A and B are shown apart, each in its own frame.
Chain A
Amino acid sequence: MFQISDLFHRVSGWLAQPDKNQSSIVISSRVRLARNLTDFNFTNCNPPEKQDEVIRLIENSLADSKLFAEATLWRLSDLTSVERQFLLERQLISRKLVMNHNYAAVAVERSENFSFMVNEEDHLRLQTIRAGLSLGEAYRIIDTVDSELGDRLNFGFSTRYGYLTACPTNTGTGLRASVMVHLPALVKSKQIRKILPAVSRFNLAIRGIFGEGTDVMGNLFQISNQLTLGKNELETIDNIEQIAHKLIGYEEETRVLLLEDQKRKLPDQIWRAYGTLKYARNLNLTEAMELISLIRLGIDLGIITQVSYSCLNKILLFIHSSHLLLKSGVGSELSHSKVNTMRADFMREELE
């Protein structure tokens, strides 16, 4: 057993140890599996007392397994709204789970190697996140967790349709694999507009936040699979990894061109971003994410050497408001401007 407050001061295990041999263009890999208990209606049709029973059953199945010895389950109803927001920022729970907070729970392994949501759209959403491009490893972990749970619980499964899920877009493997990629050069050169449609032709979904002009939210994109029926787990993962390698290649080529083209301008922009992050007294999240993106690019290009990837990964988590609040022992929400000040303070400490 551990407390949720144990998570406040440290970064997720997967972020703490980024693989040094990996390209930093792929920031993280995530795999999740959707599972349902065959004896209960899906969450949207499951009455409250039955939802509670689902939580109890899953809690019990954790109790007698070595694999789950380091996992703790929290009912969302026992957490404050800031704590829920914190778990959301940490990518341990989803917005949908928060919406069902009266009857939902989350189980987290101590070093965040895996976690699962209970009573989301499906009874169980198992998840694991790794740093860099390592979907294969992420799948191996979650596959083991799934098998261990499968020995104790009766999952809804049909030989024809595979794992039965509330939404038919997940039926089959119940697998959603995704990578978060950082593509600043493709965004700057506007090549992204040509490349993303090409990616979506491979039955993958792409998500990102775009702005007008240079206002792009951290230059981060998520690529994930769409098909879960008729493609097995390894094919699915392979497909995404191949596309991720292609994107890495395009991004790297574009960086070379960009640096040639903006020999003075780009390093100047990167150093200004560093200066702003290090000395600002007021930072909103959008701006902070843009600056972090530039610094990550700066490290990749060898321009900035005084910041490590693991430091940057930590920052990427802790610039979010509930992380800032809980880390400083503030239990309730503060105004935007106060949080912006805290964010700037945090940044100065980290870059000291």
Chain B
Amino acid sequence: MLCEVCGKNQAFIYYEEKVKHQVRKIHLCRECASKEGISSVFAESYFNISDIITSLSGGVKPDEASGKQAVCKHCGTTYEEFIKSGLLGCCQCYNYLEDSLKPLFRRIHGSTHHTGKAFPNSIKPEVCDDELVDLEEQLKQAVAREEFELAAELRDRLRSLKNQCSPSDLAGTPEKRNNVSDK
């Protein structure tokens, strides 16, 4: 097998990446592997992320029902373009392409809601009802399909979300932030 980087020398080493049950390998010759050194071990990914996006979005057909192409009115990026490159064009894409992105988020992250640090200048988190309904629906389906491991995980998430959504904590994230920066 020839080295997939230079295409000239015989490959004898391979770089391997396991992400989400997908194993990807790239075969390298001694010279190319030498050039990479630890930097390739430390790289975020040797592979184009669009491959992952494309494979994950396989079942998601954009706007099949409405018949029109989803496009971001701010930067002009279409869903098709996004699937090809794996990259969105601007922050507004998250609004304009939301319907197509949601199922993708679920496949990539198993979630469609952020739970971490909040940006201080942003408005306070919207009520989580939306996600609660979402999760309860997923839980019902998981139980119906007898995927109990998934169901247990969803139940845990529901529980922690319900705690988070208690009114006292709704605007709690900015405070958390301040504590950290005081250190």
Instruction: Say if the beta carbon of B63 comes within 8 Å of chain A.
Output: no
Q: Contacts of A227 on B, CB cut-off 8 Å? A: 108-111
CB <8 Å contact, A155 and B88: no
CB <8 Å contact, B91 and A211: no
CB <8 Å contact, B183 and A209: no
Contact A91:B42 (CB < 8 A) given known A121-B87, A167-B49: yes
Instruction: Say if the beta carbon of B86 comes within 8 Å of chain A.
Output: yes
Instruction: Say if the beta carbon of B139 comes within 8 Å of chain A.
Output: no
Set B17, B35, B118, B177: member contacting A159, Cβ < 8 A: B118
A30 to chain B, nearest CB (A): 7
Q: Contacts of B55 on A, CB cut-off 8 Å? A: none
B119 to chain A, nearest CB (A): 4
Contact A41:B90 (CB < 8 A) given known A210-B14, A229-B113: yes
Set B33, B52, B86, B130: member contacting A286, Cβ < 8 A: B33
Q: Which of A282-324 contact B (CB under 8 A)?
A: 284-286, 289, 316, 319-321
Number of CB contacts from chain A to chain B under 8 A: 231
Size class of B's contact patch? 35 or more
Listed residue (A36, A94, A157, A180) with the most chain B CB atoms within 10 angstroms of its CB: A157
Instruction: Say if the beta carbon of B59 comes within 8 Å of chain A.
Output: no
CB <8 Å contact, A211 and B12: yes
B169 to chain A, nearest CB (A): 13
Chain B, 22-56, contact with A by CB distance < 8 Å: what is the 0/1 string? 00000010110111111111111110010011000
What 7 pairs between A and B have smallest CB-CB spacing?
Answer: A230-B111, A162-B114, A157-B119, A156-B91, A229-B109, A45-B89, A232-B116
| 14 residue pairs from A and B, CB less than 8 Å apart | A42-B88, A143-B181, A144-B180, A156-B91, A158-B91, A158-B114, A172-B114, A178-B42, A208-B15, A209-B40, A210-B15, A227-B108, A284-B30, A286-B30
